[in-house]
């Protein structure tokens, strides 16, 4: 409601009642006053208002009897009846402000909360509501509004999860057309869209609607296809909707009714309900705010039975917790130094005349501080943990999912914001990771309206609704797929039989009628036919409609019932044998490379064997012949020369393996060429067409033209539209040089039928797209999914193949079983093999050269002495002579030189030994003579 309208109503209230008086400029109370005034605005005549008042009074008494909460301060609450009127609610709010109330509890409805929130904002008084669940009240526009229950945002998320869980796509929303209803349904639409579902129809009901008005709305709902109905209203008016629905037989089998928590509130408060009331809600699914049972709730439930005969609703628990929340916030407010001070709103001074009496309204100076203290409270109440998030929402939103059965409800599961749907309580899911992993388990079984245990499909074709109008292309060619009888104008063909067989498998009746699309002169555009569905001209399309990307953006398609990618058809001729047919298995490059490698192998083996193998020695002419003979005889493993070196044998083994593969490939390809009947065409497929500049034929009004231009870059001047199969045949026979085309590109299903009686043409190359044909329906149509299931059943039971054989199985051309000319084997197929062998030869030669050089340097001095050349004169010529020399000769020369060296050494050693012995004998004799002389002299001296 705009601000100017609010203040205009205020003016009317002041002039009418004259109840406002001049107030003090500034009123102050002590920090801890004896009494704190709190006001509550309820609708006394409603069932929620009746029980909420009792719960609030009980909470006030419990708070005042607990000295630890407000430490001597008492709460005083005054109740005001809104009587379902926004005007009276605002007047009550203004009267409350005269009493210097620090907080306002209520109002009961979201509509009144929107109105009173403006007054709360102006006078800075926190407005606490446990029943106003409109999600938009959480916006920044209402800073002083505090919701003490959960927003409908979460309730709608729970309903969206239920719809997704049971695999329904569309729902119908029935709601009261006010802030509460509209904003709640908007939230539901957002949540459904996030899950791939949607609200297919909205059925608003006036807040003052009579049963006749409600009947008019529900009659329109009954004409809709969806049978999933979500009812978002109030506890009082909701029962009227159900009574009208029963009179219209909308509570029977096939319907799904999901009610927000207004229904569970009715059941909880009014229990036991009258039998006629219970009867209209059988099979309903409803939600109830989840509260974990505790000692506090059990104690309060016991006291509740002594207070009233009404049942205990969750709204009672939230009302009780609201008072305690406010009490704890006031206690913190006083601890922070807050006091009960009010001041005049200076903006009211600008008003003249009688409006000056608004000066009696005062701003609560501590309103902002108290608001912050309220949002900071953390406590455990009857509803569980009471704590606010940064978005001013209560933590841990959760609901029970209930099924109305008999005289009460049966709990079939839970929903929480953290775990979604679950068959176990939310706190168990959050605490136990094992349970959290299984929180997506199915809800318990539901007894649906009817009653029935079978899950409703969620939509039907209403009996009093119009027939589906199905567009069928009026083809002038290939009428085996879709045709129209000239006598009766009835449609027939492969696609028609598949559709009617699939519809017959559906568990419900589908009223429909076919309507021709096209002028009957040329084939219509299937893309335009699908566009007609999106435009609302047709309800569906049945025919040879290929599922392409741009078409899926216009409509939904069923499961493909035939595969039909794009292929190329070109003229073919029978390939005849020739004198040089034996050369065809290999390409020219392959022949050249193979011949070069045969020679290379001979040279490599000769190099490795020349110094040690006599079979690879001799005059140059003989050695050349030996190399060539050895090379080419290995093709048949008939070489007579033996290899003696380890390196030579390794090269030969590798080469024989290469020869084995080449021989096998040649033999297999030559056998195919000479024995299999072959077709030849210069066109090899789509790649050949892209490389050429020849014209290409395509079916007129087909998606093929745009596809070839966009995906393959073929210029549009090359594309020639053709209408009939006879046009295809004529253009292909004429050829590109005589005004015809080189090839035709079309879908395989058509061309297979075309080729069944035309043996001069054939499909060339591979299929270069993969798509199929399906039946088109409007976006999000549930019939598309059901028909897809039926098509799969047709495929499984063989009926789809039977229909195919009935219309499409024909072939007058025996040549269709022949094969195209076998392609020559290219070098690319063997280059890896040749590369490996070439590297092996290269490594072997490197090893051989290294060993030879090492041996050469070992015997180089001997070679110089033997040949009479100096070491500096000709090392290269010497090395060539060494390499050409047989290895046995080199070894013999080395052995002979070693023997000569050993003889010289022995002679020198003998001479030295003789000299040594002679000298030793001479020295010994001299010593003996000296010794004897000395001894004689000693004897003479002794005698003396």
Q: If we measure between CA atoms, which residue out of 669, 668, 663, 658 comes closest to residue 834?
A: 658
pLDDT at 401 over 90: yes
Least confident of 553-557, 738-742, 817-821: 817-821
- Report pLDDT for 225: 85
Q: What is the pLDDT of residues 507-517, one digit of tens each?
A: 888 889 999 99
Section 805-812 average pLDDT: 81
Q: What is the pLDDT of residues 584-598, one digit of tens each?
A: 778 888 888 888 888
Q: If we measure between CA atoms, which residue out of 671, 665, 677, 659 comes closest to residue 581?
A: 671
Section 269-287 average pLDDT: 90
User: Could you tell me where in the chain the CATH 1.10.287.70 domains are found?
Assistant: 581-675
Q: What is the pLDDT of residues 772-804, one digit of tens each?
A: 999 999 988 888 988 999 999 999 999 999 999
- Report pLDDT for 196: 86
pLDDT at 885 over 90: no
Cα–Cα distance, 306 to 327 (Å, whole number): 24
pLDDT at 538 over 90: yes
Section 523-528 average pLDDT: 93
Using 50, 70 and 90 to split pLDDT, how confident is the model at 437?
A: very low
Least confident of 231-240, 404-413, 571-580, 652-661: 571-580
- Report pLDDT for 583: 75
In sequence order, what are the beta bridge partners of 236?
none
pLDDT at 175 over 50: yes
Residues 527/546, Cβ–Cβ less than 8 Å: no
Q: What is the pLDDT of residues 608-667, one digit of tens each?
A: 776 666 666 667 777 777 777 777 777 766 566 677 777 777 887 888 888 888 888 888
User: Could you tell me where in the chain the CATH 3.40.190.10 domains are found?
Assistant: 468-564+772-808, 679-764
Section 733-742 average pLDDT: 92
User: Could you tell me where in the chain the CATH 3.40.50.2300 domains are found?
Assistant: 35-147+309-386, 152-293+397-428
In the chain, % of residues over pLDDT 70: 78
581-675 CATH choice from 2.30.110.10, 2.40.160.20, 1.10.238.10, 1.10.287.70: 1.10.287.70
CATH class of 35-147+309-386: alpha beta
Question: 3-state secondary structure string, 802-838?
Answer: HHHHHHHCCCCCHHHHCEECCCCECHHHCHHHHHHHH
- Report pLDDT for 709: 93
pLDDT at 685 over 90: no
Highest mean pLDDT among 17-26, 518-527, 623-632, 847-856: 518-527
Using 50, 70 and 90 to split pLDDT, how confident is the model at 729?
A: very high
Cα–Cα distance, 415 to 397 (Å, whole number): 9
Cα 268–Cα 271–Cα 275 angle in degrees, nearest 5: 125
pLDDT at 722 over 50: yes
Cα–Cα distance, 78 to 64 (Å, whole number): 15
Cα–Cα distance, 135 to 155 (Å, whole number): 10
Using 50, 70 and 90 to split pLDDT, how confident is the model at 227?
A: very high
Cα–Cα distance, 879 to 563 (Å, whole number): 74
Cα–Cα distance, 188 to 109 (Å, whole number): 19
Q: If we measure between CA atoms, which residue out of 744, 766, 815 comes closest to residue 573?
A: 815
Cα–Cα distance, 197 to 226 (Å, whole number): 12
The residue assigned the tokens 């009935």 is 806
pLDDT at 103 over 50: yes
- Report pLDDT for 574: 66
pLDDT at 883 over 70: no
Using 50, 70 and 90 to split pLDDT, how confident is the model at 10?
A: very low
Using 50, 70 and 90 to split pLDDT, how confident is the model at 466?
A: confident
Domain 468-564+772-808 coded CATH 3.40.190.10: yes
**Number of other residues whose CB lies within 10 A of the CB of residue 27:** 14
- Report pLDDT for 837: 82
Query: What is the homologous superfamily of the domain 679-764 according to CATH?
Result: Periplasmic binding protein-like II (3.40.190.10)
Using 50, 70 and 90 to split pLDDT, how confident is the model at 24?
A: very low
Cα–Cα distance, 831 to 281 (Å, whole number): 79
152-293+397-428 CATH choice from 3.40.50.2300, 3.40.50.10090, 3.40.1190.20, 3.90.1150.10: 3.40.50.2300
- Report pLDDT for 29: 42
Tell me which of 913 and 882 has the higher pLDDT.
882
Using 50, 70 and 90 to split pLDDT, how confident is the model at 125?
A: very high
Least confident of 40-54, 416-430, 714-728: 416-430
- In this structure, what are the phi and psi dihedrals at residue 917, rounded to the nearest 5 degrees? -70, -40
Average pLDDT of the residues of the chain? 82
- Report pLDDT for 65: 94
- Report pLDDT for 943: 36
Q: What pTM value is reported for the model? A: 0.67
**Burial profile 238-269: b = 16 or more Cβ within 10 angstroms, e = fewer:** bbbbbbbbbeeebbeebbbbbbbbbbbbbbbb
Q: What is the pLDDT of residues 39-52, one digit of tens each?
A: 998 988 889 999 99
Query: Which helix H or strand E contains 270, and what residues bound it?
Result: helix 262-270
Tell me which DSSP letter residue 312 carries: P
pLDDT at 369 over 90: yes
Least confident of 223-232, 810-819, 855-864, 932-941: 932-941
Section 346-375 average pLDDT: 72
What contacts 489, CB < 8 A, 6 or more positions away? 516
pLDDT at 221 over 70: yes
Helices (H) and strands (E) in the chain, counts: 31, 35
- Report pLDDT for 3: 45
């Amino acid at each position: 409601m705009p601000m100017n309208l609010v203040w205009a109503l205020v003016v009317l209230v002041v002039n009418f009642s004259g109840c406002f008086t001049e107030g003090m400029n500034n009123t102050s109370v002590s920090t801890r006053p004896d009494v704190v005034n709190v006001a509550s605005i309820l609708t006394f005549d409603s069932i929620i208002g009746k029980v909420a008042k009792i719960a609030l009074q009980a909470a006030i008494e419990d708070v005042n009897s607990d000295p630890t909460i407000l430490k001597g301060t008492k709460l005083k609450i005054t109740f005001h009846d809104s009587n379902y009127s926004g005007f009276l609610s605002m007047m009550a709010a203004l009267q409350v402000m005269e009493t210097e109330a620090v907080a306002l509890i209520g109002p009961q409805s979201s509509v009144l909360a929107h109105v009173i929130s403006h007054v709360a904002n102006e006078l800075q008084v926190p407005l606490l509501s446990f029943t106003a669940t409109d999600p938009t009240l959480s916006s920044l526009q209402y800073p002083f509004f505090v919701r003490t229950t959960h927003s409908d945002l979460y309730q709608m998320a729970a309903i969206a999860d239920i719809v997704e869980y049971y695999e329904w796509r569309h729902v119908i929303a029935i709601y009261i057309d006010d802030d509460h209803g509209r904003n709640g349904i908007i939230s539901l639409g957002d949540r459904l869209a996030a899950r791939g579902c949607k609200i297919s129809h909205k059925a608003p009901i006036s807040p003052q609607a009579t049963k006749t008005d409600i009947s008019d709305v529900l009659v329109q709902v009954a004409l809709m296809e969806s049978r999933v109905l979500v009812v978002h209203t109030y506890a009082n008016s909701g029962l009227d909707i159900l009574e009208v629905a029963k009179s219209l037989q909308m509570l029977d089998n096939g319907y799904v009714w999901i009610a927000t928590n207004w229904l569970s509130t009715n059941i909880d408060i009014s229990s036991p309900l009258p039998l006629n009331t219970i009867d209209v809600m059988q099979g309903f699914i409803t939600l109830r705010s989840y509260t974990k049972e505790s000692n506090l709730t059990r104690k309060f439930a016991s006291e509740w039975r002594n207070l009233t005969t009404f049942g205990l609703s969750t709204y009672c628990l939230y009302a009780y917790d609201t008072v305690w929340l406010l009490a704890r916030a006031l206690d913190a407010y006083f601890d922070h130094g807050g006091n009960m001070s009010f001041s005049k709103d200076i903006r009211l001074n600008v008003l003249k005349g009688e409006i000056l009496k608004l000066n009696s309204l005062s701003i609560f100076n501590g309103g902002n501080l108290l608001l912050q203290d309220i949002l900071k409270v953390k406590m455990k109440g009857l509803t569980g943990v009471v704590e606010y998030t940064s978005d001013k929402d209560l933590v841990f939103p959760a609901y029970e999912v209930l099924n109305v059965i008999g005289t009460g409800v049966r709990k079939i599961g839970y929903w929480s914001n953290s775990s979604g749907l679950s068959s176990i309580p939310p706190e168990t899911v959050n605490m136990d990771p094992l349970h959290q992993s299984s929180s997506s388990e199915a809800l318990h079984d539901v007894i649906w309206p009817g009653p029935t245990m079978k899950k409703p499909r969620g939509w039907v074709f209403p009996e009093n609704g119009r027939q589906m109008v199905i567009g069928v292309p009026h083809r002038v060619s290939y009428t085996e797929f879709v045709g129209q009888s000239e006598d009766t104008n009835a449609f027939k063909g492969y696609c028609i039989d598949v559709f009617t067989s699939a519809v017959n498998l559906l568990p419900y009746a589908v009223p429909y009628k076919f309507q021709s699309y096209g002028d009957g002169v040329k084939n219509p555009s299937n893309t335009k036919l699908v566009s007609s569905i999106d435009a609302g001209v047709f309800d569906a399309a049945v025919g040879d409609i290929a599922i392409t990307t741009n078409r899926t953006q216009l409509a939904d398609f069923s499961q493909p019932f035939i595969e039909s990618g794009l292929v190329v058809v070109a003229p073919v001729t029978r390939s005849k044998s020739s004198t040089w047919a034996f050369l065809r298995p290999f390409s020219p490059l392959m022949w050249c490379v193979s011949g070069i490698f045969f020679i290379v192998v001979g040279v490599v083996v000769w190099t490795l064997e020349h110094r040690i193998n006599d079979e690879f020695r001799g005059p140059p002419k003989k050695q050349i012949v030996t190399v060539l003979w050895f090379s080419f005889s290995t093709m048949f493993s008939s070489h007579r020369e033996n290899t003696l070196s380890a390196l030579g044998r390794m090269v030969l083994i590798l080469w024989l393996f290469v020869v084995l593969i080449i021989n096998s490939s040649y033999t297999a390809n030559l056998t195919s060429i000479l024995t299999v009947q072959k077709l030849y065409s210069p066109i090899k497929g789509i790649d050949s067409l892209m490389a050429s500049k020849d014209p290409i034929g395509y079916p007129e009004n087909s998606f093929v033209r745009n596809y070839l231009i966009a995906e393959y870059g073929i210029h549009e001047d090359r594309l020639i539209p053709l209408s009939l199969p006879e046009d295809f045949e004529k253009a292909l026979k004429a050829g590109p040089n005589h005004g015809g085309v080189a090839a035709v590109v079309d879908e395989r299903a058509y061309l297979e039928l075309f080729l069944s009686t035309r043996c001069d043409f054939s499909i060339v190359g591979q299929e270069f797209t993969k798509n199929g044909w399906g039946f088109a329906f409007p976006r999000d149509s549930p019939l598309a999914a059901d028909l897809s299931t039926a098509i799969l059943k047709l495929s499984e039971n063989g009926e789809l193949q039977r229909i195919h054989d009935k219309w499409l199985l024909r072939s007058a051309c025996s040549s269709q079983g022949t094969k195209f000319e076998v392609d020559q084997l290219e070098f690319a197929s063997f280059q890896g093999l040749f590369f490996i062998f070439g590297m092996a030869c290269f490594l072997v030669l490197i090893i051989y050269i290294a060993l030879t050089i090492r041996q050469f340097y070992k015997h180089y001095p001997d070679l110089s002495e033997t040949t009479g050349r100096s070491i500096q004169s000709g090392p290269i010529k010497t090395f060539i002579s060494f390499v050409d020399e047989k290895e046995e000769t080199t070894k013999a020369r080395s052995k002979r030189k070693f023997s000569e060296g050993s003889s010289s050494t022995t002679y020198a050693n003998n001479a030295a030994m003789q000299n040594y012995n002679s000298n030793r004998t001479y020295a010994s004799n001299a010593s003996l003579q000296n010794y004897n002389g000395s001894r004689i002299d000693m004897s003479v001296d002794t005698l003396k």
